[in-house]
A and B are shown apart, each in its own frame.
Chain A
Amino acid sequence: MDHRARVYNDVFEMLPSVENPSPLVRINRLCPSPEFTLYAKLEWMNPFGSVKDRAAWAMLCDLESRGELSDGRGLVEPTSGNTGISLAAMASARGHALRAVVPSGIPQEKKVLLKILGAELDVVSDELCPSPGMGDGSINLAKTHAKAQPKRFVMPNQYENELNVRAHLETTGPELWRQTEGQITHLFLSLGTCGTVTGAGRFLREKRPDIKIIAVQPSEGHDVPGLRNVQQLDSCELFDRSLIDEIIEIDYELAYARVLDLCREEGLLAGPSCGLIYEGARRVIENERRGFGVMIFPDSVFKYVSSLVKHIPELAVDGPA
């Protein structure tokens, strides 16, 4: 494949890697200190639209290579949307079925996208980022399908699968190091399954022990799919607290306000988790003034149009349909 010409034999060749990293774009108008270089890593530029392409591909390839998807066996996965969308697209294109179990509160756009991509859907009452453990909800309903019908379903289980970490250890981390030429001093991200922070964080901490890894989380009762509030983090199997220097909790409504700033001031079509991360980064930069930071922007605003209208009512459009 030739990443310079960007001509590919199939969509999977477009998946991110050190040779084909997702883009870093500098934040100009919204960076509060001229001595701080701030970049956003645009994960929505991955072929299936989010940071989850990385973990989904690693888990799918692993299942295929171990023969777990032979004889018509498909996948079942609990997801707040992005992993399901990546997996659904990949699985469909490779001839596997996917049953996605999603929390009812995720945006309608994500539910419909999953169906467009051929997934069968279970919608359950659950947290926006399902928690592993003894509670009911998406994870345990997916486990029920896999246990009751083992010939029909295998469950990758992004919430507990170490490949979710390894994908970022082998791609996101090295990409960031190379793209910043080793200058990175701050990494800003949000925690959901914790695959990104544990994988990329482990790689970067090894390269640069004094790097500051800062997690930005929404306040309790939030409406930002895929993310956990601070109280929920301990239920996360892939969470490694020792990698994180600081956890900043932000009023989740600000995530939506910052989406508008990023769209209108920087031309970045960022989703609500990006808005949240940007607000956290902005506060740190206001205080520290100097540094070289990267924000991991997980996905774009397109899947959250209905959420934006809900939180910023003046965006509603009147007039004939």
Chain B
Amino acid sequence: MSEYAHPEVLVDTDWVKKNLGKPGIRLVEIDVDTKGYDAGHIPGAVGFNWETELQDQVNRDIISKENFEQLLSGAGISPDDTVVLYGDNNNWFAAYGFWLFKMYGHQDVRLMDGGRIKWLNEDDKELTIDKPAPTPSTYKVTSTDMDLRAHIPLVMEASKSSSFNLVDVRSPDEYTGKIIAPPGMNETAQRGGHIPSAKSIPWSLAVKEDATFKSADALAKLYFEQKGVDKNKDSIAYCRIGERSSHTWFVMKYLLGMPNVKNYDGSWTEYGNLVGAPIEKQA
């Protein structure tokens, strides 16, 4: 059985338990449902709110470098810390956080495989409502990697060109245009369907029932053999607001080791609202 291309970016729940409270190891919970952290979290973990802390509050954009530095300083995180991210919904927003940390050049960031659900359902793992009071640090971003992000001009080019893998990770009903967004979601679009030439590979196909990632062999079979992803091409993943696609971006880049993978965080809530953009929709 082969290993993940970058096994160092994934830790399991037992590793986290063993390393709780160790200097230089920092836990951050990022949930879709921001009530989760307050109800109970891993001892010592800080909670980041994806809506108010990871997004610019005026423009539709990721937080600025300065706001990222401020957020991490407030959480007492230093550039040389090992940061372990975890969250609900199979680590959707934890993966989004991972993508953000990597764009702002944080060296050692990892995901806890299985997320908060796996931890919650293991009898030997504790939860607490006590929030840590970290001593603030002075976090400085020294390098950035904005190549991890796709903007609309590149997405348009990828849609027309055969030299990209364009991967739609939403549910089949969102891909076909039967629905525009999952029920109850606030962020939506004017039109349903998908970007022309995008392959449908729902994010959920990459995980097992216990919420952990499938093996490297199973993922390679799924993406390369069953879904026809070309492992040597550049790739762009998208969903509705960029969090589920972060999950697939993580799989393609770090678990499968594909060379150039970008997350299109504008995703369907940008593309499906664009005037004149071509859309494929199942009749």
Q: A124 CA to B36 CA in the complex, in Å?
A: 10
Contacting residue for A105 out of B118, B128, B184, B210, CB 8 A:
B184
Pair B40/A147 contact, Cβ less than 8 Å: yes
Pair A143/B184 contact, Cβ less than 8 Å: no
- List B contacts of A141 (CB < 8 A): 33, 35-36, 39
- List B contacts of A135 (CB < 8 A): 117
Q: A125 CA to B127 CA in the complex, in Å?
A: 22
Pair B118/A134 contact, Cβ less than 8 Å: yes
Pair B209/A136 contact, Cβ less than 8 Å: no
Q: A276 CA to B248 CA in the complex, in Å?
A: 40
Contacting residue for B40 out of A104, A124, A125, A149, CB 8 A:
A149
Pair A144/B39 contact, Cβ less than 8 Å: yes
Known: A141-B35, A149-B40. A134 touches B129 (CB 8 A): no
B152 interfacial by beta-carbon distance below 8 Å = no
B127 and chain A: residue at smallest CB distance? A148
- List A contacts of B113 (CB < 8 A): none
Pair A136/B89 contact, Cβ less than 8 Å: yes
Pair A149/B88 contact, Cβ less than 8 Å: no
Q: A140 CA to B127 CA in the complex, in Å?
A: 13
Considering only CB atoms and an 8 Å cut-off, how many residues of chain B contact the other chain? 23
Pair A136/B33 contact, Cβ less than 8 Å: yes
| B239 smallest CB distance to A (angstroms) | 16
Pair A134/B184 contact, Cβ less than 8 Å: no
Interface residues of A in 130-157 (CB under 8 A from B): 133-136, 140-141, 143-145, 147-149
- List A contacts of B32 (CB < 8 A): 136
Pair B184/A144 contact, Cβ less than 8 Å: no
Q: A144 CA to B88 CA in the complex, in Å?
A: 12
B218 interfacial by beta-carbon distance below 8 Å = no
B121 interfacial by beta-carbon distance below 8 Å = yes
B16 interfacial by beta-carbon distance below 8 Å = no
| A220 smallest CB distance to B (angstroms) | 11
- List A contacts of B210 (CB < 8 A): 134
- List B contacts of A104 (CB < 8 A): 184
Which one of A104, A105, A147 has the greatest number of beta carbons of chain B within 10 Å? A147
Known: A144-B39, A144-B127. A124 touches B33 (CB 8 A): yes
| B115 smallest CB distance to A (angstroms) | 9
User: Please, what's the 1-or-0 string for B181-194, where 1 marks a CB less than 8 Å from any CB in chain A?
Assistant: 00110000000000
A122 interfacial by beta-carbon distance below 8 Å = yes
- List B contacts of A149 (CB < 8 A): 40, 129
B211 interfacial by beta-carbon distance below 8 Å = yes
Q: A308 CA to B108 CA in the complex, in Å?
A: 54
Pair A144/B33 contact, Cβ less than 8 Å: no
Contacting residue for B184 out of A122, A125, A133, CB 8 A:
A125
Pair B88/A136 contact, Cβ less than 8 Å: yes
Interface residues of B in 31-59 (CB under 8 A from A): 32-33, 35-36, 39-41
- List B contacts of A136 (CB < 8 A): 32-33, 36, 88-89, 117
Q: A136 CA to B210 CA in the complex, in Å?
A: 12
Pair A124/B88 contact, Cβ less than 8 Å: no
Pair B184/A145 contact, Cβ less than 8 Å: no
B274 interfacial by beta-carbon distance below 8 Å = no
- List B contacts of A148 (CB < 8 A): 39-41, 127-129
User: Please, what's the 1-or-0 string for A119-130, where 1 marks a CB less than 8 Å from any CB in chain B?
Assistant: 000101100000
Interface residues of B in 109-160 (CB under 8 A from A): 116-118, 120-121, 126-129
- List B contacts of A147 (CB < 8 A): 40, 120, 126-127
- List A contacts of B33 (CB < 8 A): 124-125, 136, 141
Pair A145/B211 contact, Cβ less than 8 Å: no
Q: A122 CA to B36 CA in the complex, in Å?
A: 11
Q: A133 CA to B209 CA in the complex, in Å?
A: 9
- List B contacts of A134 (CB < 8 A): 117-118, 121, 209-211
| B216 smallest CB distance to A (angstroms) | 21
Interface residues of B in 11-33 (CB under 8 A from A): 32-33
Q: A141 CA to B39 CA in the complex, in Å?
A: 7
- List A contacts of B209 (CB < 8 A): 133-134
Pair B35/A122 contact, Cβ less than 8 Å: yes
Q: A135 CA to B210 CA in the complex, in Å?
A: 9
Q: A133 CA to B210 CA in the complex, in Å?
A: 8
A103 and chain B: residue at smallest CB distance? B184
A145 and chain B: residue at smallest CB distance? B39
Known: A125-B33, A147-B127. A140 touches B184 (CB 8 A): no
Q: A144 CA to B117 CA in the complex, in Å?
A: 9
Q: A94 CA to B127 CA in the complex, in Å?
A: 29
* Residues of A participating in the B interface, judged by any CB pair closer than 8 Å: 104-105, 122, 124-125, 133-136, 140-141, 143-145, 147-149
* Residues of B participating in the A interface, judged by any CB pair closer than 8 Å: 32-33, 35-36, 39-41, 88-89, 116-118, 120-121, 126-129, 183-184, 209-211
Q: A134-B118, A144-B127, A148-B129 are in contact. List 9 more A-B contacts (CB 8 A).
A: A124-B33, A133-B209, A134-B209, A136-B89, A140-B117, A140-B121, A141-B33, A149-B40, A149-B129
In the A-B complex, the 6 residue pairs with the smallest Cβ-Cβ separation, listed nearest first, are: A148-B40, A148-B127, A144-B40, A144-B39, A136-B88, A147-B127
Chosen A-B contacts, 10 in total, with CB atoms closer than 8 Å, are: A124-B35, A133-B209, A136-B117, A140-B121, A141-B36, A143-B121, A144-B116, A147-B40, A148-B129, A149-B129
